[in-house]
Amino acid sequence: MTTHDGTCPPEPDTLSVGHPKTAAAGFTAVVKSMAHVWGEAGFFRGTRALMLLNQSSGYDCPSCAWPDPDDVRSRTEFCENGAKAIAWEADTRKIGREFFAQWSVADLAQQTDYWHGQQGRLVEPLVLRPGGTHYEPIAWDAAFTLMAGELNALASPDEALFYTSGRASNEAAFLYQLFVRQFGTNNLPDCSNMCHESSGSALGPTVGIGKGTVKLDDFEKAQLILVIGQNPGTNHPRMLTALQKAKRAGAKIVAVNPLPEAGLLAFRNPQEVGGMLGFGTPLTDTYLRVRVGGDAALLQGLMKAVFALDVEKPGTAIDRAFVAEYTEGFHDLRAATEAVPWDFVVEQSGVSREQIEDVAKQMAASERIIACWAMGVTQTPNAVGTIRDLVNLMLLRGAIGKPGAGLCPVRGHSNVQGDRTMGIYEKPSAQFLDALGKEFAFDPPRLPGHDTVDGIRAMRDGTAKVFVALGGNFLSATPDTAATAAALRNCRLTAHVSIKLNRSHLVPGRTALILPCLGRTETDRQAGGVQFVTTENSMGVVQKSQGKLTPASPHLLSEPAIVARMAAATLGKRSTIDWLNLVADYDRIRERIERVIPGFTNYNQRVRRPGGFYLPNGPRDRRFTTPNGRANFTVNPAAANRLEPGQLVMMTIRTHDQFNTTVYGLDDRYRGISQGRRVVLLNADDVRERGLKAGDAVDLVSHFRGETRTAPRFVVIEYDIPRGSAATYFPEANVLVPLDSVAAVSNTPTSKYVVITLQRAAT
């Protein structure tokens, strides 16, 4: 069978480039939402799907993890992205055995990611047999028997990897990690390894919990909101409503981003007449156009300026009472920060000293500050140190653990935080394993497992031979596409639990399975009746989610049912658990979660209340649950980013028509780019300096430790981006992100810091 390198082929040459927008949402967002929903799901199914989205009696949005209001929810509690996610899932088109008989794996690989998503829902389990060219149907029992055979034939349980995407529900995730640990390994890589792992690594030792500390209503109480390395207009659109409310209540917003993103400039609220008529609420008051990779230096500059203000007027810029009562390490931080030269800060960040001092003054004048951040910060080599410096800054102001103030790492995928709470983690705590082992009468494995990057290395090196994915599109989500594709192809078995066809299915192991599951919008009926699942949002609220649409096929299984049957087939009498009994009624799963994981007391009862319940969060109440019981200042030297002549620092970004790896369309409306994804955004001076012009085709070459990687034929777009910086779309540019280029401590791929050069493409 012909294999391919795992990259998405280019779309037809229909690119057009216009002007970037200066405000997000509004009437166009509504029109686009309805076009997707009615176009893909039909009028009645689509409208019903939307009316249930983010409602207490409906389902949690399968897209991002932004929270819903605790109290009153409107009938339209969703955004354009949520609508597109629902349209994609509630799609009435289907691909069955005829489709796969017609299309070989090699031919499918020649189609784009967008095309794959547009073919429709998977309707039955499929297998690609050794040496086969086409997927063919397989019965569920036969699929589980095949998996069990491959898993049980391994020399060690550590030769299997069990990946989880952040859409899996709490119930599916808990069963999955339980199965994996009863099987005998902690090899539980997840998508969090590639996004907010850096946040968890930074927050645990400094404040005591790897999660944010704010609630949604804190935004209305804040005086100052920092939004760093985040593009909420595209990736968490309803955050704009929270920012709008904050602005109306008098807050100032400081945005830190290399690009002038529409969603940070102004918001046309589609739930208001003015917003629909095109009147926007200006959002950002101070926009710091930092260089790509310059956040660490910027934060050190902000701390320097805060310390300097406090010298000028002692006790004004630093909350000394808070520092004395709750923190450790202040003097070391002060000495280290004051030693950082301003020249370094300005050169590395690309932001002037005056601008930095101005923001420091705004911080010093604000009692209640919220700091939000996302992938722009977490996917850099010094991500953990950068986030720790953000914590330092907030601790200096005493801005954690009081109303209107705190830390807000904004999570990407809907239940990525909940999955980690449920034990999807390659380095579980002894406390968690003790509780799990006690509840289920077994001895869980204690050795740390592989995270995502180490898992790819293990498949590449042949020490991992079976790859199972609970959701997601692993190949397109991960760095170093060609290396990841080769690693997956090196496996004896690859098995993906999926809703639709994606590129990961097209880089199979020797045998490959596609296990189609119910979407979150669909009715989940088990032996014990109709079920609901639960999720945890970005602010630690656990809530109910119940699908009500007719499933796309009677042959689909729910994710918990797939996991339970996989476990029963693989473990047989070795298991202490009656898996089929457990999955017959999800209340039974939640009862077991309650007995293992702190904070879930009366789970079944409390989660049935509209809005669900908050998990405990010590730092929210100024209980810093670190080993020393204090909030810890840390010293995080920022290394200089040094480039050779001609080099640029590239970051990958998403278009407005995609969510993570899912491509809903070919436009990036807010940036004025249409019908083309293979583009590179460059400063006009950088374009001219290289003898290029807008519209030229270039090959992008990344450089890392003497190695080069090439992504051919990207179209140059002159864009308002700092000199020396470049931006390209994910996943097309993932091929340039070296597997070994990871953030210190968190091992997160540095997709926001890739050193590249440009070469004119061959004509």
- Contact positions vs ligand SF4 (CB under 6 A): 54, 61, 63-64, 66, 78-79, 81-82, 236-238
* Cα–Cα distance measured from residue 254 to residue 265, given in angstroms and rounded to the nearest whole number: 11
Which residues have C-beta within 8 Å of that of residue 170, sequence separation ≥ 6? Answer: 415, 418, 419, 421, 422, 533, 534, 535, 536, 542, 590, 593
Our CA angle for 207, 414, 512, nearest 5°, is 115
In whole angstroms, the minimum distance from the beta carbon of 65 to ligand SF4 comes to 7
Classify the C-alpha dihedral 444-446-451-455 as positive or negative. Answer: negative
In whole angstroms, the minimum distance from the beta carbon of 491 to ligand SF4 comes to 33
Other beta carbons within 10 angstroms of residue 217's beta carbon come to 16
The β-bridge partners of 526 are 529
Other beta carbons within 10 angstroms of residue 39's beta carbon come to 12
In whole angstroms, the minimum distance from the beta carbon of 79 to ligand SF4 comes to 3
Closer to ligand SF4 at the Cβ: 33 or 728? 33
Closer to ligand SF4 at the Cβ: 63 or 269? 63
Closer to ligand SF4 at the Cβ: 82 or 294? 82
* Cα–Cα distance measured from residue 154 to residue 147, given in angstroms and rounded to the nearest whole number: 11
Other beta carbons within 10 angstroms of residue 731's beta carbon come to 27
* Cα–Cα distance measured from residue 147 to residue 529, given in angstroms and rounded to the nearest whole number: 28
In whole angstroms, the minimum distance from the beta carbon of 520 to ligand SF4 comes to 11
Q: What helix, strand, coil percent values describe the chain, rounded to 5?
A: 40, 20, 40
In whole angstroms, the minimum distance from the beta carbon of 497 to ligand SF4 comes to 21
Closer to ligand SF4 at the Cβ: 84 or 134? 84
Closer to ligand SF4 at the Cβ: 164 or 660? 660
Closer to ligand SF4 at the Cβ: 200 or 270? 270
Closer to ligand SF4 at the Cβ: 36 or 496? 36
Closer to ligand SF4 at the Cβ: 260 or 270? 270
Look up residue 216 and give its DSSP letter: T
In whole angstroms, the minimum distance from the beta carbon of 434 to ligand SF4 comes to 34
DSSP string across 581-628: HHHH-HHHHHHHHHHHSTT-TTHHHHTTSTT-EEPP-GGGGT---STT
In whole angstroms, the minimum distance from the beta carbon of 283 to ligand SF4 comes to 16
Closer to ligand SF4 at the Cβ: 409 or 509? 409
Helix (H) or strand (E) holding 650: strand 648-653
In whole angstroms, the minimum distance from the beta carbon of 83 to ligand SF4 comes to 8
In whole angstroms, the minimum distance from the beta carbon of 264 to ligand SF4 comes to 15
Which residues have C-beta within 8 Å of that of residue 523, sequence separation ≥ 6? Answer: 530, 547, 548, 549, 550, 551
Closer to ligand SF4 at the Cβ: 84 or 709? 84
Q: How do strand 541-545 and strand 613-614 relate by DSSP bridges?
A: antiparallel
In whole angstroms, the minimum distance from the beta carbon of 415 to ligand SF4 comes to 11
Closer to ligand SF4 at the Cβ: 61 or 651? 61
In whole angstroms, the minimum distance from the beta carbon of 25 to ligand SF4 comes to 11
In whole angstroms, the minimum distance from the beta carbon of 87 to ligand SF4 comes to 12
Provide the strand spans (E) within 313-427: 327-328, 369-373, 406-409
Closer to ligand SF4 at the Cβ: 162 or 664? 664
Over the range 479-507, which residues count as b (16 or more CB within 10 Å of their CB) and which as e?
bbbbbbbbbbbbbbbbbbbbbbbbbbbbb
Nearest to 455 by CA among 194, 664, 660: 194
Could you give the C-alpha distances from 325 to 205, 207, 395, 608, in angstroms and in order? 18, 14, 11, 39
Other beta carbons within 10 angstroms of residue 710's beta carbon come to 13
Nearest to 498 by CA among 481, 484, 519: 519
Nearest to 218 by CA among 13, 469, 477, 401: 401
| Structure token digits, residue 407 | 């830390």
Q: How do strand 673-674 and strand 16-17 relate by DSSP bridges?
A: antiparallel
Closer to ligand SF4 at the Cβ: 236 or 334? 236
Could you give the C-alpha distances from 669 to 22, 63, 83, 657, 683, in angstroms and in order? 11, 19, 16, 8, 19
Closer to ligand SF4 at the Cβ: 215 or 236? 236
SS3 state at 183: helix
Which residues have C-beta within 8 Å of that of residue 694, sequence separation ≥ 6? Answer: 17, 687, 716, 717, 718
In whole angstroms, the minimum distance from the beta carbon of 23 to ligand SF4 comes to 17
Closer to ligand SF4 at the Cβ: 520 or 565? 520
Nearest residue to ligand SF4 by CB is 82
In whole angstroms, the minimum distance from the beta carbon of 238 to ligand SF4 comes to 4
In whole angstroms, the minimum distance from the beta carbon of 659 to ligand SF4 comes to 7
Closer to ligand SF4 at the Cβ: 64 or 168? 64
In whole angstroms, the minimum distance from the beta carbon of 451 to ligand SF4 comes to 26
In whole angstroms, the minimum distance from the beta carbon of 64 to ligand SF4 comes to 3
Task: Give 520's Cβ-side CA count (13 Å radius).
Answer: 30
Closer to ligand SF4 at the Cβ: 25 or 556? 25
* Cα–Cα distance measured from residue 215 to residue 315, given in angstroms and rounded to the nearest whole number: 28
Our CA angle for 256, 259, 263, nearest 5°, is 80
